[in-house]
């Protein structure tokens, strides 16, 4: 802010072309759509649940979550200041020169640009190093978590239940290489890092957030409803188009328009619509499947996902099944070995009564006879 090329951000905020920007009345619904996307779509992130599950207690996890919410508001202030500084800079008076970052389509790189051209050398050195370290830390943790989830949740649970630890490790190594190559290709081909982050939040909001709500708060939802909700939400999201990927919409909602690249932009909050459709589809299909199977309208053999009709095996049969089943063979039941925690001697003999009496031969022989007769 003290650089000679930087104007007063309060003065530039009051100018006609203010860095504060403005919201057109027709864009209010799309802004609300994006607001809910970033707010609710930020809940089911795997990185957040890693911190929650690693907490020492549920109370600590709750306190950490609320403190992190206020921490996000506080940490947004430096980002706002850096953006305001970049918009208030006469770049012709710096080594960066003209045209400015906006005209060069480098506005999303304003942080390293400000650090490099508006700060002293030592600040640029440590600042760019910190940014690089943070990016690499986030990248390797994301690739590692994606590989571990693929190896565990997909490869082992779906295809190879008996896979050894060594096999799982090799699957993780291979998927780390594949995911790393994919991430590199996305970084080289994508026009905007912000667009990639925005799109990933988009998918989390539409696909995963309704599933999380149903799992935690809606009893009776099952796998059939989850699959149907997933597909409906994904189809509605893809057919709505995506400007960052130059994907034209197939469904045109009210208020759409074409940008300078002739890509149609939706003003209608279709992302929230896709999320709500996924949510209610999950509930409707789940309860429909539950009713059809429990009422006998569909035979139990059609429950191929084992989501409604409970199929008991010899390993997990409960006591009710053991009693009611007519197919139990007696010689297949495991023999029960009785466990005697107390002997009859200790049950019928008052040791405290004998403790105060001298142990005479007559008493000892009488006690031995009692024990022998009892046995």
Average pLDDT score, the chain:
80
Q: What is the CB neighbour count within 10 angstroms for residue 95? A: 8
Rama region for 85: left / alpha / beta (φ>0; ψ in -120 to 50; rest) = alpha
The domains of the chain are located at: 193-317
Tens digit of each residue's pLDDT (9 = 90 or more) over 97-106 = 888 888 888 8
Task: Specify burial of residue 221 (Cβ count, 10 A radius: 0-12, 13-18, 19+).
Answer: buried
Write down the pTM of the prediction. Answer: 0.68
Transcribe 320-360 into DSSP letters.
HHHHH-S---GGGSPPPPP--SS-HHHHH--HHHHHTS---
Phi, psi of 213 (to 5 degrees): -60, -45
Count of residues in the chain: 375
Q: What is the C-alpha radius of gyration for the chain, rounded to an integer number of angstroms?
A: 34
Task: Specify burial of residue 308 (Cβ count, 10 A radius: 0-12, 13-18, 19+).
Answer: buried
Tens digit of each residue's pLDDT (9 = 90 or more) over 168-208 = 999 999 999 999 898 888 777 776 666 777 777 888 899 89
Phi, psi of 137 (to 5 degrees): -65, -45
Q: Once rounded to an integer, what is the mean pLDDT over residues 253-271? A: 88
């Amino acid at each position: 802010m003290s650089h000679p090329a930087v104007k007063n951000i309060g003065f530039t905020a009051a100018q006609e072309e203010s860095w504060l920007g403005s919201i057109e009345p027709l864009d209010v619904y799309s802004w609300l759509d994006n607001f809910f996307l970033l707010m609710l779509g930020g809940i089911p992130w795997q990185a957040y649940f890693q911190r929650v599950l690693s907490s020492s207690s549920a109370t600590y996890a709750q306190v950490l979550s609320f403190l992190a919410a206020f921490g996000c508001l506080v940490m947004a202030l430096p980002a706002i200041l850096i953006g305001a500084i970049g918009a208030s800079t006469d770049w012709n008076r710096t080594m960066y020169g003209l045209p400015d970052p906006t005209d060069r389509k480098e506005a999303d790189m304003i942080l390293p640009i400000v650090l490099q051209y508006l700060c002293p050398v030592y600040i640029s050195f440590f600042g760019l190093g910190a940014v690089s370290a943070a990016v690499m830390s986030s990248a390797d943790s994301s690739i590692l978590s994606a590989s571990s989830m693929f190896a565990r949740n997909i490869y082992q649970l779906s295809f190879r239940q008996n896979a050894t630890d060594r096999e799982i490790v090799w699957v993780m190594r291979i998927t780390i290489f594949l995911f790393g190559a994919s991430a590199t290709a996305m970084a080289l081909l994508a026009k905007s890092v912000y667009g990639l982050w925005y799109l990933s939040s988009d998918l989390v909001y539409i696909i995963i957030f309704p599933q999380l709500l149903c799992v935690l708060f809606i009893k009776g939802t099952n796998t059939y409803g989850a699959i149907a909700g997933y597909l409906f939400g994904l189809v509605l999201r893809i057919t709505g188009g995506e400007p960052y990927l130059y994907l034209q919409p197939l469904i045109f909602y009210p208020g759409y328009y074409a940008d300078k690249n002739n890509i149609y932009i939706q003003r209608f909050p279709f992302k929230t619509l896709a999320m709500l459709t996924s949510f209610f589809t999950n509930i409707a299909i789940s309860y429909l499947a539950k009713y059809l199977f429990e009422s006998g309208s569909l035979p139990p053999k059609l429950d191929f996902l084992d989501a409604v009709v409970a199929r008991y095996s010899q390993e997990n049969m409960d006591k009710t099944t053991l009693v009611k089943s007519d197919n139990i063979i007696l010689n297949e039941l495991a023999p029960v070995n009785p466990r005697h925690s107390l002997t009859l001697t200790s049950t019928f003999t008052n040791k405290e009564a004998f403790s105060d009496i001298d142990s005479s031969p007559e008493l000892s022989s009488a006690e031995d006879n009692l024990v022998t007769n009892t046995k």
